Amino acid sequence: MALIAYDGADAAAFQATRHLRDEGLATWRAAIERHFAARPGMRVLDLGCGTGSWARAFRSWWPEVDVVAVEPAAAMRERAVFEPVVPGAADDIPCADAGLDAVWLSTVIHHIPDLTAAAREIRRVLKPGAPVLIRSAFAGRHEGISLFRWFPEAVAVLDRYPSIAGVEAAFATAGFVTAGGGPVPQVTAASLAEFAAGLRRDAHTPLKLISDEAYAAGAARLREAARTVSGPVVDALDLLVLR
């Protein structure tokens, strides 16, 4: 898939706008802990960690757990809020065999060129029975994500992402089966005005891949709605759990 390659502008925009606040993280912590119980000595991999916000959250939630962060893009590693972040990729993970108690992938599955190869490599580094936790927008599942309300042309980009069934099929080749999941609501911004003010096109793959005209029209719709719509922006991405 690998829809874009992150450069410095993308990484800076991602770092500035894509880190969830505590109220956004809380629902994800609850969802993750339904499938992963942290214990001293465990090792968790944040694979494709970007600028490290999830690795940072894991370290604060589970101080007894060793959090390993791997990211292929140098621009992301240079802006990470977590240390250390080491180079690596989904098909070339710098970890020993059967040494990890969980693998986390957040909004990264659509950037992996070969999901079958990634599934084999993740199987190699995971302990038997340990979970793969995939947080993502998936093809055909745009309804819970407010961004697509203002930028409808971006739905066609989302539909180029892997589907849940496609990810399940790719990971099944390495012996994984689905163990749970579903949509998880998150507070993305305190208000639509805050969301509009902070929107950075470079931080969102679906917005980078629509036309300039479609982006301008969507941004205008968003700014107009932000004048009158009150309340927080609540989105729902999916959590897919495989074992």
pTM of the entire structure?
A: 0.92
Residue 56 contacts residue 77 (beta carbons within 8 Å): no
CATH 3.40.50.150 describes domain 8-242: yes
What pLDDT was estimated at residue 18?
Answer: 61
What pLDDT was estimated at residue 1?
Answer: 42
Percent of the chain scored above 70 by pLDDT? Answer: 93
pLDDT (tens digit, 9 = 90+) per residue, 19-34?
788 888 999 999 999 9
Residues of the chain under the 70 pLDDT cut: 1-18
What pLDDT was estimated at residue 8?
Answer: 58
Q: So where are the chain's domains?
A: 8-242
What pLDDT was estimated at residue 10?
Answer: 57
